[in-house]
Amino acid sequence: MVINRRILTLDEFTIQQMRAFPHATGELASLLRDIGLAAKRVNVEVNKAGLVDILGDAGAVNVQGEDVKKLDVYANNQFMGVLKHGISCAGIGSEELDDFIAFDDPVSNNSKYVCLFDPLDGSGNIDVNVSIGTIFSVYRRVSPLGTPAVREDFLQAGIHQVAAGYIVYGSSTMLVYATRRGVNGFTLDPSIGEFSLSHPDIKCPDFGKIYSVNHGNFFQYEKSVQDYIQQCQKKNKDTGGPYTQRYIGSMVSDLHRNLIKGGIFMYPATIDKPKGKLRLLYECNPFAFILEVAGGKATNGKQRVLDIVPTELHQRSPLFIGSKGMMEELETYLKA
């Protein structure tokens, strides 16, 4: 009998990684398993979103004043529930929660990690069957073990992330996560219900041909950003231009594509949104961490995203992120 052991499952992979650290407790592996479990539950609902009465607005408005979709609430509850009942997470912050939650029970208070989430990203795309995602960010808490998680555990600069990742509910469902050791992608095999290692050691190409930005906002961007976008549209034998413009409107999907193929993604400040739209703690930071580990770069236009020290859970930031060479080209415009 031929036993095919070449494809590792998410659990097998994280446990194997853990063995490289003699003092590892297995808590991070357990946390990633919990996230994988919640992702599978959300995936089931996302797949049948067109069938059941789960589509559409939940009738409420989230803390940022945006309509909340029913699936956002469902996804938030799944991730929150699984992490609360797991053994690795002391508390969570989420786009769908006004404030962070310290789980504050004996097991959670002794857990090393806290998590931040965008439970469903790109939720405006649910009703039209376009790829959506989940984004997560993991920090080692700074408060003492044995006590409830506190605000400072969540307000850490992105450079302190222990792990970050996303799930993309696309034509396949994939979970991609990064630790300092590398970025690895797992595709959900629906026949066995397991995330299986399909994209080991992902590296973002130094150059790509894709730029992703909301062109509808063009006249709201500052001049340097406008100049760069116009450069992307010009014939240029040095850069391989003109680039191809691709913008799905789910940053998980846009950034997943650009991570694999190479490219640049921008959500700059606009006149209407001078701080940008995307949220630093659960949108910008996790992707900045993933892209940097994969060899790319991420800035807010002025400084490295991972160096920003946050002051608020839901704070926004402009975001420029992608292939190293393309980011360096952009930076020559932003400095000018």
Q: Is 323 in the site for ligand AHG (CB under 6 A)?
A: no
Which of 269/284 has CB closer to Mn ion? 284
Nearer to ligand AHG, 118 or 153 (CB): 118
Q: With binding defined as CB under 6 A, does residue 122 bind ligand AHG?
A: yes
Instruction: Closer to ligand AHG by CB, 123 or 184: give it.
Output: 123
Task: Tell the residue number behind the tokens 């996804």, with chain if given.
Answer: 75
The residue number whose beta carbon is nearest to Mn ion equals 121
Beta strand extents in 5-69 (DSSP E only): 57-61, 67-69
How would you label 13-27 residue by residue, b for 16+ Cβ within 10 Å and e otherwise? bbbebbeeeeeeeeb
Residues of span 56-75 touching ligand AHG by CB under 6 A: 66
Query: Does 250 sit near ligand AHG (CB under 6 A)?
Result: yes
Binding mask 166-185 for Mn ion (x = CB under 5 A): --------------------
| Contact flag: residue 276 with ligand AHG (CB under 6 A) | no
Quick check: helix, strand or coil at residue 175?
strand
Residue 194, binding choice from ligand AHG, Mn ion, none, Cβ under 5 to 8 Å by partner class = none
By the rule CB under 5 A, 254 interacts with Mn ion: no
Give the Cα separation of 29 and 56 in Å (integer): 35
Residues 6+ apart with CB under 8 A from 294: 178, 183, 202, 203, 204, 259
Q: To the nearest whole angstrom, how small is the minimum distance from the Cβ of residue 267 to ligand AHG?
A: 6
Least CB distance to ligand AHG at residue 223 (A): 20
**Contact string 82-121 vs Mn ion (x = CB under 5 A):** -------------x----------------------x-xx
Q: What share of the chain is helix, strand, coil (3-state, %, to 5)?
A: 35, 25, 40
Min dist CB 92 to ligand AHG, Å, is: 16
Query: Interhelix angle for 27-47 vs 70-85, to 10°?
Result: 150
Q: Which helix (H) or strand (E) holds 266?
A: strand 263-267
> Contact between 251 and ligand AHG (CB under 6 A)?
yes
Residue 292 makes contact with Mn ion by CB under 5 A: no
Query: How many CA atoms lie less than 13 Å away from 272 in the CB half-sphere?
Result: 7
Tell me: does residue 123 bind ligand AHG (CB under 6 A): yes
Nearest of 148, 154, 141, 182 to residue 97 by alpha carbon: 154
153 is an interface residue for Mn ion by CB under 5 A: no
252 token code pair: 């998980």
Q: Are 316 and 277 spatial neighbours (Cβ–Cβ below 8 Å)? A: yes
Residues binding ligand AHG: what is the number (CB under 6 A)?
A: 12
Give 203 or 273: the residue with its C-beta nearer to ligand AHG.
273
Copy the structure tokens of residue 254.
Answer: 């846009």
Find the shortest distance in angstroms from Cβ 72 to ligand AHG: 8
Footprint of ligand AHG (CB under 6 A): 66, 95, 118, 121-124, 214, 249-251, 277
